[in-house]
Amino acid sequence: MKLNVTLNRVIAGSALALSLMATTAMAADPTEKWCSGVTIAAFPGGPQGGVFANNVYNGFRQAEMDLGATVTYYFSDWDPNKMLQQIQQAVATKVDGIATYGFAGEPATGPIVDQAFAQGTIFTSLNTSLPDSQAKYASHGFGYVGAPNYAAGFALGAEAAKRANLQAGEEVFVWGLQGQGGDRGQRTVGVIDAFTKAGAKVIYQEIDAATNADPNAGTATFVGVMGANPGIKIVVTDHGGLTSNVGVYAQAAGLTAGQVYFAGFDMSPNTAQAVKDGFQNLVIDQQPFLQGYLPILNICLTKKFGFSGLDINTAGAFVDATNVDAVAPLAAVEIR
């Protein structure tokens, strides 16, 4: 009798263990479109089809397809005020999540972030951080996918100075967005600081609104700066659209390939060609596709499973003539 009781207990215990194992296995089984039903407002940043913005958009769309979320897109023409108004509109629709740039800075955006989380909308950033908001709401899903902007700017300036053998007193031209302030402006500050540390004379030009929206509008500005300062040794374009237009600028100014050392941000089909042609010498690849894909994943993980916000640096590599052939095919389809 004792043997039978013991055997029955073993069998019952084994059955319970198998049942628990089966339940656990079922709970961990992969699920297609596991973010279905989640609504997200996503901001590619620039104009529809524009340089960099389209790479981010492609990342958004791939994540939407992979994960099953329903995504609404807002194109902002790189205008911080327009983007801020659109963010307010998105909050008013009470979507489950918002993935956007921090262009407008903390003073303007922080109260909207507060409103979003108060109503249950997950807010996360890409490309340009909102560090105070991220610190406040990281445990509730606020993350950041992009470059640490000051560090990225400094790294590009320092690398360009080293590769071009920049000497103290020589002139460099930085065409950037220092006046935009916030984290976005800090990237330009980083470039300037690197050149200042190297002892260079920095000639700075703020990117105006027209050129910010359409890089071709800046051709006359570039020709004018180069004509007035023929000793410029290095040019940094702190804008993906302007970097994509370096070949146009150089030829309009009568420069030959290699006459001036060009460094900039972000790959594109035109930038890859400019590297091959010898006009563009150095590019930081921010991998903007990831800046689209991962914030959608971030929101889905938080909404479905309560995960905290992701914090990911996407700007880990330089592109130049030695490796452009590996990147160019991906740039051509606006993934890199």
Averaged pLDDT for residues 58-73 = 98
Q: Which CATH architecture has domain 39-147+288-315?
A: 3-Layer(aba) Sandwich (3.40)
Averaged pLDDT for residues 225-238 = 98
Q: At what angle do helices 182-197 and 149-163 cross, to 10 degrees?
A: 30
Question: Which residues have CB under 8 Å from 294's CB, separation 6+?
Answer: 59, 63, 126, 145, 310, 312
Residue 65 CB burial class (10 angstroms; 0-12, 13-18, ≥19): exposed
The CATH number fitting domain 149-285, selected from 3.30.70.1380, 3.30.70.1150, 3.40.50.2300, 3.40.50.720: 3.40.50.2300
For the cut 60, the answer to whether the pLDDT of residue 64 exceeds it is yes
pLDDT tens, residue by residue, 14-42: 444 444 444 444 456 899 999 999 999 99
Q: What are phi and psi of 49, to 5 degrees?
A: 85, 0
Averaged pLDDT for residues 298-320 = 95
The residue among 121, 128, 118 whose CA lies nearest residue 45 is: 128
Supply the pLDDT for residue 316: 77
Q: Bridge-partner residues for 226, per DSSP? A: none
For the cut 70, the answer to whether the pLDDT of residue 12 exceeds it is no
Supply the pLDDT for residue 88: 98
Instruction: Give percent of the chain above pLDDT 70.
Output: 92
Instruction: Give the mean pLDDT of the chain.
Output: 92
pLDDT tens, residue by residue, 134-144: 999 999 999 99
Averaged pLDDT for residues 89-99 = 98
Supply the pLDDT for residue 47: 93
Contacts of 26-32 with C-beta under 8 Å, sequence gap 24+, read 32/68
Q: Do domains 39-147+288-315 and 149-285 have the same CATH topology?
A: yes
Domain boundaries, the chain: 39-147+288-315, 149-285
For the cut 90, the answer to whether the pLDDT of residue 126 exceeds it is yes
How far is it, in rounded angstroms, from Cα 146 to Cα 143? 10
How far is it, in rounded angstroms, from Cα 159 to Cα 319? 12
320 token code pair = 């130049």
